[in-house]
Amino acid sequence: MAATEKFGPLLRHLRLNAGKSMGDLARHLGVSVPYISDVEHGRRAPLARHRILDTARFLGIEPSTLLVSATQSRGVLDIEGNPSEHAVEVGMNFAGAMGRLSESQLNQIARILEAEED
């Protein structure tokens, strides 16, 4: 399934593949079953980043596909923590330029971020 798939159907697909019911996921996240159904039908916004990470752990999958899909569905990026003014400026510049960057430039940035996560 492509990363560009809408968040709701993607979540439902991954959840069913993992053998988890809507009730299982709702209980794990501490939300109602209609909430999960609404998200999967696209009537509610994609899950927040921390819930996606929690969901991915629960389903035993990598979170990247869901995170990318959520970002594309929302059209906005989640900002974690309390970044400095300079960090926000760099981030905004990156957001504006990312559509024009080459694969090699994106790989360079990905390597910097991976090194930072380690």
Partner 1 sequence: MSQRGFKADHGRSRGVIELSARRTREVFCPEVGPMEAVPSVWLFEGLERRSVRLQDGRVVKLSVDVKDLPPGQEGFSKYHAGKDRMVVALSSATYGQLELNDGRARFTLAHEIGHVVLHCNELERLGTLPHAAGAMARAARRGHAVFRDCEWQANAFASAFLMPARGIKQMMAEGSLRYLNLGQALSSNYVVSDMAARIRADVYRKDEAKLVNETRY
Determine if 41 is a binding residue for partner 1 (CB under 8 A): yes
Determine if 47 is a binding residue for partner 1 (CB under 8 A): no
Determine if 34 is a binding residue for partner 1 (CB under 8 A): yes
Angle at 21 between CA 50 and CA 43, to 5 degrees: 60
Least Cβ distance, residue 34 to partner 1 (angstroms)? 5
Does residue 80 come out as left (phi exceeding 0), alpha (psi in the -120 to 50 range) or beta? beta
From candidates 16, 48, 87, 106, binder to partner 1 by CB under 8 A: 16
Determine if 87 is a binding residue for partner 1 (CB under 8 A): no
Determine if 23 is a binding residue for partner 1 (CB under 8 A): yes
Q: Measuring CA to CA, which residue among 82, 9, 21, 83 is closest to residue 46?
A: 9
Number of chain positions touching partner 1 (CB under 8 A) = 11
CA distances from 114 to 37, 43, 110, 117 (A): 34, 34, 6, 5
Rounded to whole angstroms, the Cα distance separating 57 from 90 reads 31
Determine if 1 is a binding residue for partner 1 (CB under 8 A): no
Determine if 60 is a binding residue for partner 1 (CB under 8 A): no
Least Cβ distance, residue 23 to partner 1 (angstroms)? 5
